[in-house]
Amino acid sequence: MSFTESFAHTAAAVVELGADAAALAALGDDDLVTAHALLTSHRQSVDLYAAWLSAEIAKRSSRDAGPSGLAQSRGFGSAESFLQSVAPVSRAEATQLIAAGTLMAATDTLWEGALSRALVSGALSVPAAEAIRRGLAAVAETSPASDLAAECERLISRVSATSLDELRREARTARDRLDEAGIARREKERRDNRYLKRWVRDDGMYQGAFLLDPEAGLHVFTALDAIMAPRRGVRFVDATAQAEAEGLIADPRSNDQLLADALVDIVRLAVDADPGTLFGARRPAVRVVVTEQTLAGAGGHGFLEGDAQPVSRESIDRFVCDVGMIGIKFDGRRQILDLGRTQRLFGQPQRLAISVRDGGCLFPYCTKPPSACEVHHIVKWKHGGRTDTRDGVLLCRHHHMLLHNNHWRILRRDSGRESQYWLRPPRSQDPARVPLALHSKSPLMRELARIE
């Protein structure tokens, strides 16, 4: 089936779904999901047409054309502005459409050709292609063509198994692999872009805005997340902690109000504390995870736990100097040595190890970081399950409850040098119960897998 035939087919199928919301509301669950998938396929085709048209408009509005160019002759300073006048798109969306259409005409390089073919075939949406393009374009002039093409193909293969936000992060990770020497420069640029602005409004309220680099941002967010943990549904085993959590849940203040008051309390504590005093039961932890090989060498990079952006060797050395290091040994399947069936709950060292391995909630498309997750026993304790790191995985509260209440299961399969986790849906979701592969959200684990 040609592209135009496919376009006509999906258009006709969409029309048959019904003419209004009432017709769609009458669809069964499976038909509703199928209808959405059909509409998504047709929308990708429409976006593809829009990208071709947008690129042609941009071509006819080039600087070389001057005042006689399409956009300027209609009174617009750029192709993007002209597109906004003829279509309900933002400037960012107009830029994205032009970039996608231009990309499909630019097959001079291996990686651009791969992106173009994936777009035309329907394997990539315009936003997904833009996510990959933006990640790789920054290093396209300095990286070997074969390495660029390999990273591009790998990212294209990940599209069906990941969200658009995660794809953007993976594209940036690919950029950093191709240009490790630039990690320190980009790290400095992010830090140089930090700011905190504050002002007093006309009504007397104090207002502000901030932008922080990943390390500083994680310090602030981790502290606030710890305060808000009960509202996120994180369970507490200690009776005293549970009582405090229940008090916070019953607090009549909104989440935003609680966060505002918490920030003020943190500032008050810091101002009143003696120099060097550590206050609070636990110091918010921001950790760098790095391989032993990197520590032993002169260069390399690591990752902030819970953040996909790499940090430079200089930052690694600073962290080691400040807080020391905790060694985590992985076996050939990238599993951590366990403590056996000695306790019901996973201890702090085990949780740290599992957090480094999983990088966040393992459920597909979930983006919750390790700090918002609980450790799930693959085999229930009452059924003989062991409190071993290989039998524990990170799940956010919502997906942890989904597993226990809706009969989903997580399985571990060992094959060769790799342990793989799989999610088996209940029969109500999939009568065949075909397992879905689960992938670590940790960029360090993905890097180790690629190296091996």
pLDDT tens digits for range 330-348: 665 655 544 333 444 566 7
Q: How much is the pLDDT for 339?
A: 38
d(CA 214, CA 227): 20
Backbone angles phi and psi of 203, in degrees to 5:
-85, 5
Separation of alpha carbons 442 and 346, rounded Å: 20
Tokens of 42: 């047709």
Which residue ranges of the chain lie beneath pLDDT 70? 1, 106-107, 231-245, 247-248, 270-286, 320-347, 380-387, 415-418, 450-452
182 with 142: CB under 8 angstroms?
no
**Neighbouring residues of 237: CB distance < 8 A, sequence distance ≥ 6:** 345
Position 237 scores a pLDDT of 54
The answer to whether the Cα torsion of 337, 340, 343, 344 is positive or negative is: positive
Residue 396, φ and ψ in degrees, nearest 5: -70, 165
pLDDT at 20: 83
φ/ψ of 107, rounded to 5, equals -115, 30
